[in-house]
Amino acid sequence: MAAINMALEDMYGPRGGRGLSLRVGRAIFADGLRNFGALAGVGDLAFKVLPLQAKLRIGLPAEAKIFSQISDQHSTVEEKENEFIYTIHRCSECTDRKGQDKPICFIAVGLLQESLKWVSGGNEFRVNESKCIAAGDSVCEFVVQKEPLS
């Protein structure tokens, strides 16, 4: 992931690389990880009829659990009053990337955005990376707003 991120940034510059990285994250979920919903129990009819906030309360931790099981990254989710804090404790996008002046995990942002869209039945959510290992933080942390944009 880190190599993909760096290559996109080198080829298209910081802004272009960011946009393409977001798209890569969305495509990873849309083309591959959507099938893992059944493993986490979020593909069932009973899940689909739940209220939006219940879907988010179940869906985000399920995603963190799946990533912790199928990859080398360890993820957790904490619920706050108006937002969820999705934390990646070992991030594949930050491998060998240090000294960045701002967060760089745009593939993870795109992946979270697309998974939330799928879990919610089409709503878009604001996802911002607030901490990044590449920028000197101890974890990569993403703030996910509970209320959809659309």
Phi, psi of 134, deg, nearest 5: -65, -20
Q: Is 42 a residue whose pLDDT tops 60?
A: no
CATH fit for domain 2-145, picks 3.10.180.10, 3.20.20.140, 1.10.4010.10, 3.30.1380.20: 3.30.1380.20
**Helix residue spans in the chain (DSSP H):** 2-31, 37-40, 45-48, 52-70, 106-120
Strands 83-88 and 75-79: antiparallel
Domain coordinates in residue numbering, the chain: 2-145
Q: Is 37 a residue whose pLDDT tops 60?
A: no
**Predicted confidence (pLDDT) per residue in 87-106, tens digit:** 999 988 887 788 889 999 99
**What's the confidence (pLDDT) of residue 131?**
96
| Residues 6 or more apart in contact with residue 126 via CB below 8 angstroms | 144, 145, 149
CA angle 35, 20, 127 (to 5 degrees): 65
Sheet (strand 75-79) strand order: 75-79, 83-88, 140-145, 127-131
Q: Is 114 a residue whose pLDDT tops 60?
A: yes
Q: Return the higher-pLDDT residue of 43 and 64.
A: 64
Q: Is 8 a residue whose pLDDT tops 60?
A: yes
Mean confidence (pLDDT) of the chain:
85
Distances (CA, A) of 133 to 21, 106, 139: 17, 13, 5
Confidence band of 39 (pLDDT split at 50, 70, 90): low
Integer Cα distance of 122 and 90 in angstroms = 29
**What's the confidence (pLDDT) of residue 86?**
97
Q: Is 30 a residue whose pLDDT tops 80?
A: no
